């Protein structure tokens, strides 16, 4: 029997919704290609199943953060081009080459090391050059970009397939930095024109860039949060219509009457204002349902919003049904997603926890089984 058939807490992932979101993004950015980002277990949706599905519909490429994520996709039979976007430790390079993964090269020294390993192994290394145009995290500075580009001319065993940078504020109302990053990236690309060389695949736009900066779509775009049916901020324009692909559910495992003045959970932070009915759910911060939701979040019970009361425990959450509320053991409760005419959005969950949608998705623990529909 599958774990998802046993555990009352689970995540449901709608692969059809992911496919529709991908198609909507493709229509919006065409003729630019699309590289869905599958890092952090495909934003909590399940990297192997999502990767297989997208590979099956003929995706242009896939992006991940770490070597192990790329290897997991290859082990699962995914054949699409895969770019690993994080920094690379030198000892990992042979594994990149063995798994046919594209390497992010952010410096002259890293390029030299990749060239040496590829030469020693008698093979070619596929790379994407990474430039820092304002993110300040990873990449050759835009001010010294020519140093890395010039060095590629002396790296015969390195195949430069792509060149990219990453936006820092593309989902914010202030466009100043993003527009500066676009200008800096275009200046970097002038190197190819000055030498009469064909340029590699250019990619710059993340979800915010896809939505608000068509001039940054270039040859390829990299949707992350947008692919999974959420928007990066309230300020980002809704130029692509997407739908959530994930529902997070648990089930009632205990029902009780709490008398007026009695308290619930650690610290006695919630006291019943009147006689009321409270149910317990087998989910908690050990599953990624943040402790910050204590006395703040709402869930859907029978399609109706009910408050989380008391502190969220490692393995349990308590919900107040009110004095006349009804629920039975085994009833579904929606933590994230829709039920009937109402829905708990990832943006709402993030606000309740004082965080961002990315963290909500990626914090859902591996001990929560994923069910694919």
Enumerate the active-site residues: 39, 266
Structure tokens at 40: 């952090």
* 3-class DSSP assignment, residue 286: helix
Report d(CA 350, CA 330) in Å as an integer.
Answer: 27
Report d(CA 219, CA 222) in Å as an integer.
Answer: 11
**CA atoms 112, 80, 123, 153: torsion sign:** negative
CB-side exposure of 81: number of CA atoms within 13 Å? Answer: 16
Instruction: Name the residue with tokens 């709490």.
Output: 258
Cα–Cα distances in Å, from 238 out to 211, 217, 347, 358? 7, 16, 14, 18
How far is the first Cα of the chain from the last one, in angstroms, to the nearest whole number?
18
With beta carbons less than 8 A apart as the criterion, state whether 3 and 362 touch: no
With beta carbons less than 8 A apart as the criterion, state whether 126 and 159 touch: yes
Report d(CA 249, CA 317) in Å as an integer.
Answer: 12
Structure tokens at 26: 């493709």
Report d(CA 207, CA 231) in Å as an integer.
Answer: 8
């Amino acid at each position: 029997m599958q774990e998802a058939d046993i555990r009352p807490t689970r995540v449901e992932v709608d692969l059809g919704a992911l496919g529709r979101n991908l198609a909507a993004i493709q229509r919006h950015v065409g003729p630019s290609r699309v590289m869905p980002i599958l890092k952090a277990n495909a934003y909590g949706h399940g990297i192997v199943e999502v990767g297989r599905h997208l590979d099956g519909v003929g995706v242009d490429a896939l992006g991940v953060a770490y070597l192990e994520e790329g290897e997991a996709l290859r082990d699962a039979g995914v054949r699409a081009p895969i770019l690993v976007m994080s920094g690379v430790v030198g000892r990992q390079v042979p594994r990149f080459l063995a798994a046919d993964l594209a390497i992010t090269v952010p410096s002259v020294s890293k390029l030299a090391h990749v060239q040496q390993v590829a030469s020693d192994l008698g093979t070619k290394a596929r790379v994407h050059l990474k430039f820092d145009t304002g993110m300040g995290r990873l990449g050759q500075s835009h001010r010294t970009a020519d140093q890395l580009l010039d060095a590629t001319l002396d790296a015969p065993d390195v195949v430069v397939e792509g060149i990219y940078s990453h936006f820092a504020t593309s989902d914010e109302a202030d466009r100043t930095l993003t527009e500066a990053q676009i200008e800096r990236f275009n200046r970097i690309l002038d190197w190819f024109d000055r030498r009469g060389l064909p340029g590699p695949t250019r990619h710059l736009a993340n979800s915010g860039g896809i939505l608000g900066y068509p001039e940054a779509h270039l040859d390829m775009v990299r949707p992350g949060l947008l692919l999974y049916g959420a928007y990066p901020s309230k300020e980002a324009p809704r130029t692509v219509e997407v739908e959530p692909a994930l529902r997070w559910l648990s089930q009632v495992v205990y029902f009780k009457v709490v008398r007026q003045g009695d308290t619930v959970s650690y610290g006695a932070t919630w006291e019943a204002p009147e006689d009321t009915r409270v149910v317990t759910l087998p989910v908690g911060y050990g599953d990624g349902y943040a402790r910050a939701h204590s006395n703040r979040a709402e869930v859907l019970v029978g399609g109706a919003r009910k408050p989380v009361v008391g502190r969220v425990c490692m393995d349990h959450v308590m919900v107040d049904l009110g004095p006349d509320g009804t629920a039975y053991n085994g009833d579904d409760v929606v933590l994230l997603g829709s039920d009937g005419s109402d829905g708990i959005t990832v943006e709402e969950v993030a606000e309740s926890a004082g965080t961002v949608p990315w963290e909500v998705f990626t914090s859902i623990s591996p001990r929560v089984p994923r069910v694919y529909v």
